[in-house]
Structures are given as structure tokens and as C-alpha cells.
């Protein structure tokens, strides 16, 4: 038999958490069709995989690539680090269903300008992705803040019963059209006034579609346990799985509390379906939030509409230049973006190692000076945390970035290397893979990635994206 592609003598880490093994892998019509000793089989393309690992393509469960996959479909920050599928619509903000009459509110402005929100129905967004045919697969959540922005005249209040009905109808339609579920961003001013009952009412629409609820919780600071309980209660009420986004203990006064935070996660997991994701860095990134402005940590300004020339400096440095108190300087820069060096490394490692934790980059592709996680999150897990820190085995690390993620979000036949699965694959050198992106030079491709295949076609090799892109829009449970 002649196959389209055969990987010869690769060390296979299949995404399930099982031990690595050596074999050949044959690809035909976008799927893995045979695994074993294929020495006697012919192929149009043979790839020598000796001394390298073949793993499922990484699934970035927490992205803000909603509009970026359409405007810049090469998706170089993601495919260059082995990512073959991105999940968009996190933290309560999504590109659809949305048509804006004014500039997007914070934090929807992280996704683009007013003209980037032109998808009145979820199906319109899905079709736009299909037309753009990005280099990676795309699956999407619907954002609570986006729904609020479509039906409410003031985001700094609770929704009325009539507005909740309207939002619920939009969410139900999106689920019918293939959305994965609902996300919330309750820490942001645009959703902070939404009571738990508002979110619970919307989440009721998910169960009939086997949807999922993900949340950037109301706080990651002192009251984090209360915020977790609210998230779990929402899942119980709606009878749906819950994923806590980028789980962390933020703020110097909160360092070390991941012990009790993970205890609370584990307790909840005994009676309901819960999980979390995290990124492998001790600094966060978002819009410049005045509630997070403090002298206790370093805050790096990534962009400012009021003073664009001051981007690329620490807030303390900017305040000194302006001869203003720190908070006044932060107000003067608004709207703006920031990187917050707000976490303890031991907390990051504890969460990353936790059995229910998936990996997500939470990268901001529209940021002119992005957090290095945009380009380096997945190789950092494999290089720094696996090879150097020995936090877990290579098999466990890959599982957190592939099989666990695919199963959690219902991405059928993805995230594993098995006969019949889609051929989303990454070939890498376990001895050299590492993140090259830094806070000083964040737009830098990772090292050690030899090849990335999406739906059976080579999409990235030798540092270049293929001119032909092979990503697909992935509807729920497709």
C-alpha cells in the first residue's frame, strides 16, 4: 500500500499520558491510518523521525485569537510552537455574536477595533474563519461580555430579566451553530456588576448541547476561594462542566495560597466536572486595570492610546517621568495594556503540575509588545518545566497540552495519535525544544520544532509557514 506520508522510526507520545514508544506512522486523507512497522510500505513523502518525538498537535485552550485568525491567517505565533488548534472566545469576550456601533469596551478591545466585530451570528464568524482558512484549527466559545454588549445600554449594572432572555436566545442560537459553550470575565468592569444569578441563567442554555462553562473568575486575589465557589455553583446549577481560566494566586499578599486553592479544586472535583488551565509564567497580561495598580509589583506598559510613545516602559518609570503618583500616571495612560509581574513561581509550578490542569497561552496577538507566552508557552512547558525543572514526565506534559484538552472541549478524534484520528501532529527534538521569546524580545519563534502537520498536511517546517493553509473551523463535538 502507498500512503501520502509516513513518519519513520519516531518516538511516539500519543497524548493519552501513556509511555512513549517507537513506531512508524502513516497518513492518508488527513488522518492517521496505520501505526507500526511500515518498512515495506511506500509513501509519497517519507519523514525520518529518528531522535525526535512525534506528538499530537498542541491545543491552546485559552486564546484571544478570535479576529487574528482571520486577519493574519498564517497564525505564526501559534503554529511555530506546535499549536494546531486554538480555542477562542475566552474571558467573556468573543468576536461573535457582535456588531458594534461604537468602539469596543474594555476588555473587548483586546480583540480589535470596532470594524473587527462584524458577525451578528455565530455562524457568520464560523464562515469567516472557513473563508480565511487559517493555518490552525479554530473552535470557539461565546463571551458573556459580548452578549451583554449586544443587548444592554450600560454594562456597569446587572442585566434586566428581559435582557437575560435576549442574551440567552443569542447563546442558544450560537450553540445550535456549533459554539463550544459560554465564557465569562467577571473580574472586568464590563461584567463585574453581573450577579451570579445572571450568569447561571445564561449557563442554563448549555446543558442541552453538552456545552461547557469557562470563567475568568470574579477575582484571583484575596477572595479567590469565594470566586471559585461561585464558578462551581454556576456549573452545578446549569449541570455543565466548569473550567477555571488561567488559575493563579495574583498579588504579593496572595502568594503561597495555591495549596488551599487546589484543595478547593480537588474537593469540587469529587462531586462535579471541573478543571482549569494555566500558562507557564509568573506574569500576567491584560488591559491596564487600575484595581491592579500597586507599588508591590512591576507593571510593564505594552501599549497606550493616550501616550503611545511611553509603551515599553515600567509604570514606575513612566510615573517618575510624568512626575505623578503611580495611580495618576496609570489613569493618564488609559486605555492601555500591561504585563503584571504578580505571581510566585512556586504557585505557578504547583498549578501547572496539578492533575486537572491544561495548558493555555492566554496570549494577546494584537498587543504591539506581547507577553512572551504568545510565542513560547508550549515549548516552555516541554523545555523549561519538563526537561530542566523535571516537574513532570514528557508524556504527562504532552497529555496536558493535547489529549486532556481535546477530551475536555469535545474535539473529536483530535489530541491523540491513534489510527483514525486526525493528523494534527508536531515533530520536535526533546533535547533542544525551548521557548526563545522573552519579555524583552517577545516576538521570537521557539527552538526545536522540526515540523507541524495540520489535517494531514505539513503546515510549518524549517521556520516557515506553508503558503497553503489547512486549518478548519471545528464546531462543537465535530
pLDDT value at position 477?
72
117-127 pLDDT per residue, tens: 999 999 999 99
**What pLDDT, on a 0 to 100 scale, did the predictor assign at position 46?**
95
On the 0-12 / 13-18 / 19+ scale of CB atoms within 10 A, 2 is: exposed
Number of Cβ within 10 Å of residue 308's Cβ equals 12
With contact defined as beta carbons under 8 Å apart, do 357 and 343 qualify?
A: no
Q: Could you say which DSSP state residue 324 is in?
A: -
With contact defined as beta carbons under 8 Å apart, do 201 and 118 qualify?
no
CATH fold, domain 57-283+342-409, is TIM Barrel (3.20.20)
- What three-state secondary structure class fits 450? strand
- Judge contact between 478 and 180, C-beta under 8 A: no
The maximal CA–CA distance of the chain, rounded, in angstroms, is 74
Fold of 285-339: Dna Ligase; domain 1 (3.30.1490)
Contact 222, 267 (CB under 8 A): no
Per-residue pLDDT of the chain (478 residues; tens, 9 = 90+): 789 999 999 999 999 999 999 999 999 999 999 999 999 899 999 999 999 999 999 999 999 999 999 999 999 999 999 999 999 999 999 999 999 999 999 999 999 999 999 999 999 999 999 999 999 999 999 999 999 999 999 999 999 999 999 999 999 999 999 999 999 999 999 999 999 999 999 999 999 999 999 999 999 999 999 999 999 999 999 999 999 999 999 999 999 999 999 999 999 999 999 999 999 999 999 999 998 999 999 999 999 999 999 999 999 999 999 999 999 999 999 999 999 999 999 999 999 999 999 999 999 999 999 999 999 999 999 999 999 999 999 999 999 999 999 999 999 999 999 999 999 999 999 999 999 999 999 999 999 999 999 999 999 998 999 999 999 999 997 7
Percentage of residues of the chain with pLDDT beyond 90: 98
C-alpha cell recorded at residue 410: 469535545
- Look at residue 444 and give its three-state secondary structure: coil
Domains 57-283+342-409 and 285-339 equal at CATH topology level: no
pLDDT of residue 162: 98
Three cell numbers, residue 390:
523535571
What is the Cα Rg of the chain in Å? 22
Q: Which runs of consecutive H residues, i.e. helices, occur in 285-436? A: 315-322, 326-333, 345-353, 373-380, 394-401, 403-408
H/E segment holding residue 31? strand 31-36
Please name the residue that has the C-alpha cell 459580548: 146
**Residue 293 · residue 263 · CB < 8 Å:** no
The residue assigned the cell 463585574 is 192
Position 283 scores a pLDDT of 97
Q: How far apart are CA 11 and CA 20, in angstroms?
A: 6
Rounded Cα distance between 394 and 84, Å, is 19
Beta bridge partners of 6: 26, 46
For the record, the C-alpha cell of 323 comes out as: 512626575
For the CA atoms of 176, 179, 184, 190, the dihedral, rounded to the nearest 10 degrees, stands at -80
Q: Domain segments of the chain: what residues?
A: 57-283+342-409, 285-339
Question: What is the chain's percent helix, strand, coil content, to nearest 5?
Answer: 30, 25, 45
Q: Is the pTM of this model over 0.75?
A: yes
Contacts of 253 (CB under 8 A, 6+ apart): 221, 222, 296
Directed axis angle between helix 258-269 and helix 224-238, to 10°? 10
pLDDT score, position 1: 73
Look at residue 233 in the predicted model and tell me its pLDDT. Answer: 98
SS3 206: coil
Q: Residue 407 has which C-alpha cell? A: 477530551
Pairing of strands 98-99, 118-119: antiparallel
Amino acid at each position: 500500500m502507498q500512503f501520502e506520508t509516513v513518519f519513520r522510526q519516531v518516538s511516539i507520545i500519543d497524548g493519552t499520558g501513556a509511555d512513549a514508544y517507537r513506531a512508524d506512522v502513516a497518513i492518508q486523507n488527513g488522518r492517521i491510518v496505520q501505526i507500526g512497522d511500515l518498512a515495506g510500505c511506500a509513501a509519497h513523502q517519507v519523514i525520518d523521525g529518528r531522535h525526535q518525538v512525534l506528538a499530537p498537535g498542541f491545543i491552546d485552550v485559552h486564546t484571544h485569537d478570535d479576529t487574528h485568525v482571520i486577519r493574519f491567517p498564517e497564525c505564526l505565533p501559534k503554529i511555530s510552537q506546535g499549536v494546531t488548534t486554538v480555542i477562542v472566545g475566552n474571558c467573556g469576550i468573543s468576536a461573535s455574536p457582535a456588531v458594534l456601533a461604537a468602539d469596543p469596551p474594555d476588555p473587548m478591545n483586546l480583540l480589535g477595533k470596532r470594524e473587527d466585530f462584524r458577525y451578528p451570528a455565530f455562524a457568520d464568524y464560523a464562515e469567516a474563519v472557513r473563508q480565511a482558512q487559517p493555518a490552525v484549527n479554530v473552535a470557539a466559545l461565546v463571551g458573556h461580555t459580548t452578549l451583554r454588549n449586544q443587548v444592554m445600554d450600560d454594562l456597569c449594572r446587572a442585566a434586566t430579566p428581559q435582557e437575560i432572555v435576549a442574551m440567552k436566545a443569542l447563546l442558544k442560537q450560537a450553540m445550535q451553530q456549533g459554539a463550544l459553550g459560554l465564557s465569562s470575565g467577571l473580574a472586568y468592569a464590563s461584567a463585574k456588576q453581573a450577579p451570579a444569578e445572571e450568569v447561571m441563567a445564561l449557563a442554563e442554555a448549555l446543558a442541552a448541547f453538552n456545552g461547557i462553562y469557562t470563567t475568568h473568575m470574579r477575582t484571583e486575589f484575596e477572595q479567590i476561594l469565594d470566586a471559585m465557589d461561585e464558578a462551581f455553583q454556576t456549573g452545578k446549577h446549569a449541570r455543565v462542566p466548569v473550567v477555571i481560566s488561567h488559575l493563579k494566586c495574583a498579588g504579593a499578599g496572595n502568594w503561597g495560597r495555591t495549596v488551599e486553592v487546589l484543595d478547593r479544586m480537588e474537593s469540587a472535583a469529587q462531586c462535579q466536572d471541573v478543571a482549569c488551565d494555566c500558562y507557564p509564567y509568573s506574569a500576567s497580561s491584560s488591559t491596564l486595570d487600575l484595581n491592579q495598580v500597586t507599588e508591590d509589583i512591576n507593571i510593564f506598559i505594552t501599549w497606550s492610546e493616550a501616550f503611545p510613545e511611553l509603551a515599553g516602559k515600567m509604570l514606575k518609570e513612566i510615573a517618575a517621568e510624568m512626575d505623578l503618583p503611580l495611580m495618576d500616571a496609570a489613569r493618564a495612560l488609559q486605555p492601555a495594556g500591561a504585563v503584571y509581574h504578580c505571581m510566585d513561581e512556586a504557585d505557578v509550578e504547583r498549578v501547572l503540575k496539578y492533575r486537572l490542569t491544561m495548558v493555555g497561552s492566554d496570549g494577546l496577538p494584537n498587543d504591539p509588545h506581547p507577553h512572551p507566552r504568545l510565542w513560547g508557552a508550549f515549548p516552555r512547558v516541554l523545555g523549561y518545566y519538563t526537561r530542566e525543572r523535571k516537574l513532570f514526565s514528557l508524556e504527562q506534559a504532552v497529555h496536558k497540552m493535547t489529549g486532556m484538552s481535546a477530551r475536555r472541549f469535545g474535539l473529536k478524534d483530535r489530541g491523540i495519535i491513534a489510527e483514525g484520528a486526525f493528523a494534527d501532529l508536531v515533530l520536535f527534538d526533546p533535547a533542544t525544544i525551548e521557548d526563545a521569546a522573552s519579555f524583552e524580545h517577545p516576538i521570537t519563534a521557539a527552538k526545536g520544532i522540526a515540523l507541524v502537520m495540520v489535517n494531514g498536511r505539513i503546515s510549518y517546517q524549517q521556520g516557515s509557514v506553508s503558503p497553503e493553509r489547512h486549518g478548519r473551523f471545528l464546531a462543537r463535538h465535530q
